[in-house]
Amino acid sequence: MPLSMRSIFCVLGSAQAALGFKYHAADFSSYAGTPAACSNTQISCHNTTAVPDICCFNYPGGQLLQTQFWDTSPSIGPVDSWTIHGLWPDNCDGTWEEYCDPSREYTDVRSSIQAAGETSLLTYMDRYWKDYQGNDESLWKHEWDKHGTCINTLRTECYSGYSSKEEMVDFFRITVDLFKTLDSYKTLAIAGITPSSTKTYTAAAIQSALTTAHGFPVTIGCKDGEFNEIWYHYNVKGSLQTGEFIPTPPDGTKSTCPTSGVKYLPKSGTITPAATTNCSLAPVETYYS
């Protein structure tokens, strides 16, 4: 059941599972440029022959990873939410490309989002897309430069009436909208997995909870036995801008948590309800990648 990513998707329980998420071209009507209109689209990493339209098929980065952080030292972001790391285009074989277009490594991320009129997007990023060193825009720029420039359907030639830097704004907006459907904190809590200074968990229990919600296994990351990262894997039917995100298994074995004794430490501070919507503002960061 594809849903519009332009509207906020309220996650009820673990019902976020195994859904596709889709943009519609009308969602971009406020922009000077319009993403390519795509028909008879194919699912990335599932084609058996070459797909000639580079604007309607994600290649070579056909597996898109929505990645999240849980930072406790220092504590970053809301204490009851994971935060955004990024959106990464892995190749279908598990390798990846990076820093694909130096000419589009823009320096003014915040002002570009403001110029596009995306004030609510920027407010959300300020809360949920956090840099552990306190310079959020440096993280945003890093993620765009390293990963966003490698998403081929975001190339400038894939827009009619292209407006400067709008593909970068699309990258941040789509990443945020996808993240809003993935409330990792709530999903884990429903399974009885909550931050604790004394309790530990098995990797299997964590994986089971997240797999139930996502529909497929995810990648879980640990540093020194502390659970601090989740990667949700997707293929995309069509372009990044107007296509459907389809949950898929990881492109290889990448989880780094021990079998048992996994620490899920609490952030410092108190839980305060997030404002601005009636939904849980679903779900953020440590070491750049």
**How far, rounded to the nearest angstrom, does the alpha carbon of residue 252 sit from its chain's CA centroid?**
19
Beta-carbon count within 10 A of 132 CB: 19
Q: Which helix (H) or strand (E) is 234 found in, with range? A: strand 226-237
143 is catalytic: yes
By DSSP bridging, strand 244-247 and strand 21-22 are antiparallel
Q: Which helix (H) or strand (E) is 210 found in, with range? A: helix 203-214
C-beta separation of 251 from 218 below 8 A: no
Residue type present at position 19 = L
> Looking at 73-140, which runs of residues are DSSP E strands?
83-90
Indicate the angle between helix axes 166-179 and 136-146, nearest 10 degrees: 110
C-beta separation of 213 from 14 below 8 A: yes
Q: Which of 118, 142, 147, 285 is catalytic?
A: 147
Beta-carbon count within 10 A of 147 CB: 27
147 is catalytic: yes
C-beta separation of 82 from 66 below 8 A: no
Residue type present at position 42 = Q
Within 13 A of 289's CA, how many CA atoms are on the CB side? 14
By DSSP bridging, strand 219-223 and strand 3-4 are unpaired
- Positive or negative, the Cα torsion across 241, 182, 44, 255? positive
Distance CA 197, CA 280 (A): 25
Q: Which of 143, 167, 229, 285 is catalytic?
A: 143
Q: Which residues are catalytic?
A: 85, 143, 147
